Amino acid sequence: MALEERAGRRKRHAPGVLALLSLVCLGGGAGADRPPEPAFFPLEPVMEQLSKRAVLYEKAALGFSCDETVLAGKFSARNGENRREEKTRYNYLYEGSPELGYEEIRLLQDRNDSPREHRIVDPDLPVPGAYDWALLFTDLHRPYFRFEPAGEEWIAFHPARILAFSGAARWERGKKIEEWSGEVWVDRETGNFVKIVAAPNNQDEMLPLRAAEWLKGIRLGGIPLKKQPRGYRYRLSFTVEKFGLTFPGEAETRLFVLTQQGEEEIRQRIAQKFRNYVFFNVHSEEEFLGTAPSPDSKPGP
């Protein structure tokens, strides 16, 4: 029981209460995430686990569709206010093959949720497809990355391993995951994706140099002749659980410029939400994993 002194003095608590408070803090209060722990796990067995899990993610790539909402806002360079915001809804699915790669397919949706004459569109987002990241550890992409252990962290009461990754491709349009570097959180027990945080390869080193060069560039009437260099920050959360896997739920892309003080000043924000997943010809986790009994099979004696 807590023993209180007069107002203005510190409160003292009995040992039992202190122990309880310690358990709450160490065990994680409701919804609290524990801070990352030092990287100590061996990489090889973790990569083997993730490679096996990648087979299931690749199997699911051509077996679903969902609703995607894209909210794009542009910010004023003068006062930082959101000048314009556009909201667009799509029906989202994947097509392709393990040999040739995959691509996103988007069909415009009306406000009443019906497709607009099934017209395929490309919003030309400056980031890879959200499900592209679910294929990070497949044979198609894994050889073009370097992975390193980066710690462990509890997220929503689930232990997760953190792997740092670096892509091998040069920046072109940001459409390929190989153009990005960052960190990926995977569930320690299942190998499922939890979240990804990424930026273009070598951005933190190169963007300040490009920004400094732009400031010294030629101007006409005080207006620079070249476009101000921009940086990107990307976050993706796998919040949808189905058939033993996790799927993209929310993504955010921030486009920014560097001020003369080296601070990031946002210019555009793109938010994506994925909802109402529908899976083709699959009705259970056992059926997806191939462990469901055949309709013609007979029970054993």
Per-residue pLDDT reduced to its tens digit, 6-25 = 333 333 444 443 443 343 34
Query: 260 pLDDT band (50/70/90 cuts)?
Result: confident
- Residue 23 pLDDT: 39
* Residue type for position 127: V
Per-residue pLDDT, averaged over 246-273, amounts to: 93
**DSSP string across the chain:** --B--STTSPPB--HHHHHHHHHHHHH--TTPPPPPBPP-S-HHHHHHHHHHHHHHHHHHHTSEEEEEEEEEEEE-TTT--EEEEEEEEEEEEEEEETTTEEEEEEEEE-TTS-EEEEEEE----SS--GGGGGGTTSTTTGGGEEEEEEEEEEETTEEEEEEEEEE-SPPSSS-SGGGEEEEEEEETTT--EEEEEEEETTHHHHHHHHHHHHHTS-EETTEESSPPP-EEEEEEE--EEETTEEE--EEEEEEEEE-TTS-EEEEEEEEEEEEEEEETT--SHHHHHT-SPPTT-----
Is residue 206 predicted with pLDDT exceeding 80?
A: yes
Q: Which of 176-180, 199-203, 224-228, 274-278 has the lowest mean pLDDT?
A: 224-228
Per-residue pLDDT, averaged over 170-193, amounts to: 96
Higher pLDDT, residue 129 or 33: 129
- Residue 113 pLDDT: 56
Instruction: Output the pTM of the full model.
Output: 0.80
153 within 8 A of 35, measured Cβ to Cβ: yes
Write the CB contacts of 191 (distance below 8 Å, at least 6 apart in sequence).
Answer: 49, 50, 52, 53
Is residue 3 predicted with pLDDT exceeding 70?
A: no
- Residue 301 pLDDT: 47
Q: Which of 75-79, 96-100, 195-199, 231-235 has the lowest mean pLDDT?
A: 75-79
Nearest in space to 132 (alpha carbons), one of 196, 45, 189: 196
Q: What is the pLDDT of residues 67-109, one digit of tens each?
A: 999 999 998 776 666 777 899 999 999 998 888 889 999 999 8
- Residue 59 pLDDT: 92
Per-residue pLDDT, averaged over 151-176, amounts to: 94
* Domain annotation for the chain: domains and CATH numbers: 34-289 (2.50.20)
Is residue 267 predicted with pLDDT exceeding 50?
A: yes
Is residue 212 predicted with pLDDT exceeding 60?
A: yes
pLDDT more than 70, % of the chain: 75
Mean pLDDT computed over every residue of the chain: 82
Is residue 293 predicted with pLDDT exceeding 70?
A: no
246 within 8 A of 239, measured Cβ to Cβ: yes
